[in-house]
Amino acid sequence: MKKTISILLASITLLSTLAACKSDSTEQESTSGATTNMDESNTPANKIDSTAAEEIQYYQNPILTANTKDAWSNYGFGDPFVMRFNGMYYLYVSTKDGNNGIKCWSSPDLINWTYEKYCTTEKISTGAYAPEVYYYNGKFYMYTSPGGKGHYVLESDSPTGPFKVITDNMGMSIDGSVFIDNDGKWYFYTAGNGNIQYYNMSSPSQMSGGSALANVSINGGWTEGPMVVYHDGYYYMTYTGNHVCSESYRIYYAASNKSPISYPSGADNPLLVNTSSEMVGIGHSSTVKGPDLDSYYIVYHSLESQNGPNRSMNIDRIVFNGDSMEIMGPTTAKQQVPDLPDVYAYFNAGDSLDGWTLSGSLGTTGSGLPLSAGSSFISNYRFTGNYTAEYNVTSIADGGMAGAIFSYTDANNFGVCLFDPSSQKVIISITVNGETTVKETDMVQSFKEKVKFDCVQSIQIEKNGNDYMFYMNDHQLCRIKDSALESGAIGYITQGADASFGFIGGTGAIGGQGASDEYKIVSGLSGLIPANTYTTGTFATEKKGSVYAVVAEEGNVLNYRVLASTTANYDLSAEYYTGDSNSAAVIEIYVDGALAQEYTLAGSKSFATGIIRGIPLTKGQHTVSIKLKSGNAGFSEFNLLRGETVKEKTYDFSKTADGNEFSDGSWANQSGKLVMTGDPATGKRLYGEKNWGDYTVTVEVTPGANINCGLLVRATDPGVCTLQLNKEDANDPQTSTDWVQGYYVGITDTNVILAKQSYGYDALKSAKGSFKAGTTYTLKVVCEGANIKVYVDDQLYIDYTDSDAYMQGMVGVRTHQCAATFDNLTVSPIQ
C-alpha cells in the first residue's frame, strides 16, 4: 500500500504543477450537438438553425461497391468484418473464389476507407471466407475458412499484417467468430447444421467442444455469420440465413442477459431484411463501436448481382434498449455521418499538440505520444456533464505505472486510473476537495497469463451522473457509485518510468445518447426514431417489461431531428402506454414549431401502437415535436415513414399480367381467375404499394381440399427460399410460406384465422366457422390503425387490436398446401 500512497502523492504534486501551467491557457467547455432556436423542454422546437445544419456532413449507402478501386472484381465486399484498434478501423472481406490473399482497408471514421494491402498471402488464404481479426495482448489473430473447408488461425503484430498461419486445419463449418466475455473467457462461433455452433477456447488458437446454441436458427434452415457483442447487461448475437445469392438473405439477432451461449426461447428476431427496393440480399454483418465512442454501428453487405456473388458494403446505426436491438436502417438515402469525439488525438508524427497542456516533458522512445516519468498531458477541453472517454497506453517501461486522467478540474479535484504491470492491478484514485480515495481491481486476464505492457492496452471510462464505470479493453472492471467528483478534462499520466500513449478521445454522451444529435432518416427504408433521442429537456425513464420508455407528463414536449429525403405526407406511429390508470392521452404533433395534427392515444397499461397519418414534410431537415396536451404517456419508439394514399382498385385476373409486385409458387390465370396450380399447392402473390396504410380489402376465394387459404395484408419484404443461384429453379414456396412481414387472414375447414408473420408464423386469434371445398366465399379485412377486422360473407368473425402492429404494406393472396381460386381482389380506402 505504501507504493500506492506514494504514487498518489506524486500525482497530486504533478497535477498541482499542471494547474499552475494551465492558469494562462484557454479552456473550452463541452457543448452537445446543434443548437435549437428554443431550448425549453415544454416548447415545440423550431427547425435546427441553419448554421448548424450547414455543418452536417452526409454519407449514402452503399459505402463500398465492386466498382471501388482495389475491390475484388465481380465479387466486391462480401462478409465485411470491421475491427476497431487504437482509434482506427480495419476492414477485412472474403476473398474471391480461386484467388489468393486477404485484402484490408483502414478508416478513421467508418466512411472514408483507404486500401492498405494484402494482409496475408499465405497459401491457405485462397478463397478465404469471412476473415475476422481480434487483438489480444500484443498480437492480432485472424480466423478464416478458405473455400469453406475448415478453419485456420493466423497471427500478426499489426492489424494490416503480414498474418502467418499458426494452426493446422481445425475443421468446423464456415464463418468463425470470437467473443471475449467480461470474465476473460473466450468463445468461438461457427455456422452449424441449421443453427450456430459454439466452442470454448483455451488460447487464441485452441478450441474444444462444439455444441449447438439453442433458439438461434433461421427457420431451421441454413444459418451463418454469427457475431456477439455485449452492451449494458445484454449479450446480442447477430446471424444470417438463406442463400447468399437470395434477395431474402437477411440478418437476425438474439439477446440474453445471462450468457453469450444461452439465449431464451423466442429470442431470435429479424433485424434487417429488405426484398423490394434497390438494396436486397442483406446479410453477414459485424458490429463495431462508432467513432464517437458512444454509438454502435452494424456493417453488412447487400447484393449487387447473383453473379459472383457481387456485393456492396453498408453501415447503419444500432439502437439498444434493454433486450431490444434495432437498426436505424437499412438506409439508401443520404444520412448523417457518424460523429467524431468532442475531443481526440492520434499523436501521429507531425500532429499538432494544440489544445493540450504538458506538465513534465516528452519522452524519446515508444510510438504515439512518449512521456517521461512523472509527466502528464491534459486536454484544454473540459466536459461539463456525462461523458465517455477512451485511452490507449502503448507501452510502459519497467518499474513504472501509467494511465488515464479523468474529470480534471484542478489539483484538488481529479481522477486517475493507472495500470500497474508489477501487481497486475488497475489503481483508481479520486480526489475531491483534496481528499483522495483509492480502489484497486484486477486486470481482465485470459488463459492465466499476465497482461503485457510493451503493447497497446486500453481504458474506457464513462461518467453517468454521480457514477463512474471503468473498462479495460472494453471489458467491465468496476463501478464507483455516488462520487462527488464533477466532470472535467481528460489526459494521460506517467509515474515512476517513461510510457507512451496512443489514441485518446472523449464524447459528451453515454449509452447511445449521441443519437440525439443525429438526424433520423424518415423516408425510404427506415423511419425509426428511438424515443430517448430527444434533443432538449430531461425526462424520466421507466423499465416496462424488457425495454425502457421515456415518460412524459402533461405539457411535456419531445423534440426530434429528422431528415426527409423527399417531399410527401408521412405516417407517424408510436409505441406507447398511458400508465396504470388506463386513461387516454392527447398528443399534438408539431413540425418546425407549427402544429400539424392532434391525436388521442387510447388508454393502455401495456405497450400499444398508435398512428397519425398524413403529416406533411418537405424535403430536408426538420424538427418533429410530440407534445402531451393532456394525460401522461411512456414512449419506447416512433416510426416516421412516407405514406401512400390508397385509391380503389380491383384486380380481376382477366389478364395473365395481373399487376402483381411479388409471386412465389405456381399461379395461373384461368377463365379470368387466379388459380394456384402447384404441387404442393403453396405460394403467395402480392399487389399494391408497401406504403399503403389504412384500407379495406376483399377477395372471392374458392378453396380446394385441405382448406388453408386467404389474404395477406400490411405485407412487406416478401421472400423465397433460394437454394440455388438460378432463382426460378430455387423457388421453394413450401419452405418460404411464411417469408413475409405482415398479417395473414385465412380460412380452414373449421376456423377463420388471423396470424402475424415476420419470417415466421404467430397465431393471433381464431374464430369457429364451417367452410367447404368448392364453395366460393367473400373474405373481407378492414385495417384501420392497429385494429384488424375480419369478415366472411359480411359476417364479422375477428376484431383484433395488435399491441405492436404493422402499419403499412401491400395486399395479396396466400395458400398453404391448398389448391384455391381467387377473383376480384379489391382494395379501397376506408369510408
pLDDT at 30: 44
Residue type at position 668: A
pLDDT at 543: 94
Q: What is the pLDDT of residues 407-437, one digit of tens each?
A: 999 999 999 999 999 999 999 999 999 999 9
Q: What is the pLDDT of residues 12-66, one digit of tens each?
A: 556 555 554 443 334 555 433 333 333 456 888 876 544 355 578 999 999 999 9
**Whether pLDDT at 491 is above 90:** yes
**Whether pLDDT at 196 is above 90:** yes
Choice between 298 and 266, residue whose per-residue pLDDT is larger:
298
Least confident of 12-26, 460-474, 482-496: 12-26
Q: If you average pLDDT over residues 150-163, what whole number do you get? A: 98
pLDDT at 448: 84
Choice between 138 and 654, residue whose per-residue pLDDT is larger:
138
Burial of 557 (0-12, 13-18, 19+ CB in 10 A): buried
Percentage of the chain beyond pLDDT 70 is: 92
Q: What is the pLDDT of residues 96-109, one digit of tens each?
A: 999 999 999 999 99
Q: If you average pLDDT over residues 108-117, what whole number do you get? A: 97
Mean pLDDT of the chain: 90
**Whether pLDDT at 658 is above 90:** no
**Whether pLDDT at 364 is above 50:** yes
**Whether pLDDT at 8 is above 70:** no
pLDDT at 16: 55
Residue 14 DSSP class: H
**Whether pLDDT at 622 is above 60:** yes
**Whether pLDDT at 610 is above 70:** yes
Q: If you average pLDDT over residues 695-702, what whole number do you get? A: 98
User: Torsion angle of alpha carbons 323, 329, 334, 336, nearest 10°?
Assistant: 10
Which cell goes with 703?
A: 378453396
CA dist list (Å): 401 to 167, 392, 423, 428, 477 = 36, 13, 10, 12, 18
Alpha carbons 579 and 322: distance in angstroms, whole number: 19
Q: Which residues pair with 469 in a beta bridge?
A: 462, 479
**Whether pLDDT at 762 is above 90:** yes
Q: Sign of the CA dihedral 803, 809, 810, 816?
A: negative
Residue 464 has φ and ψ, to the nearest 5°, of -130, 100
Cα–Cα–Cα angle for 281, 282, 286, rounded to 5 degrees: 145
Helix spans in 467-623 (H)? none
pLDDT at 110: 98
**Whether pLDDT at 390 is above 50:** yes
- pLDDT grade, residue 521 (50/70/90)? confident
pLDDT at 267: 63
pLDDT at 680: 83
- pLDDT grade, residue 381 (50/70/90)? very high
Q: What is the pLDDT of residues 216-266, one digit of tens each?
A: 998 888 899 999 999 999 999 999 988 888 888 999 999 999 999 999 987
Least confident of 271-285, 537-551, 653-667: 653-667
pLDDT at 831: 81
Alpha carbons 282 and 520: distance in angstroms, whole number: 21
Alpha carbons 343 and 334: distance in angstroms, whole number: 26
Kindly provide the residue ranges of all beta strands, DSSP E only, lying in 631-773, ordered along the sequence. Answer: 633-642, 649-651, 662-664, 667-670, 673-676, 683-687, 695-703, 709-716, 741-747, 751-758, 762-768
Choice between 815 and 728, residue whose per-residue pLDDT is larger:
815
CA dist list (Å): 323 to 60, 257, 633 = 29, 8, 21
Q: If you average pLDDT over residues 159-172, what whole number do you get? A: 97
Three-state DSSP class for residue 239: strand
pLDDT at 20: 47
* Spatial contact of 216 and 696, defined as CB atoms under 8 Å apart: no
pLDDT at 514: 86
User: Torsion angle of alpha carbons 590, 591, 592, 595, nearest 10°?
Assistant: -40
Could you count the other beta carbons within 10 Å of the beta carbon of residue 141?
19
Residue type at position 415: G
Q: What is the pLDDT of residues 789-831, one digit of tens each?
A: 999 999 999 999 999 999 999 999 999 999 999 999 999 999 8
**Whether pLDDT at 524 is above 80:** no
pLDDT at 301: 97
User: Torsion angle of alpha carbons 205, 477, 375, 412, nearest 10°?
Assistant: 180
Picking from 542, 572, 561, the residue whose alpha carbon sits closest to that of residue 635 is: 542
* Spatial contact of 389 and 404, defined as CB atoms under 8 Å apart: yes
Q: How far is CA 637 from the centre of its chain?
A: 15
Helix spans in 41-174 (H)? 50-54
Q: If you average pLDDT over residues 74-82, what whole number do you get? A: 96
* Spatial contact of 255 and 239, defined as CB atoms under 8 Å apart: no
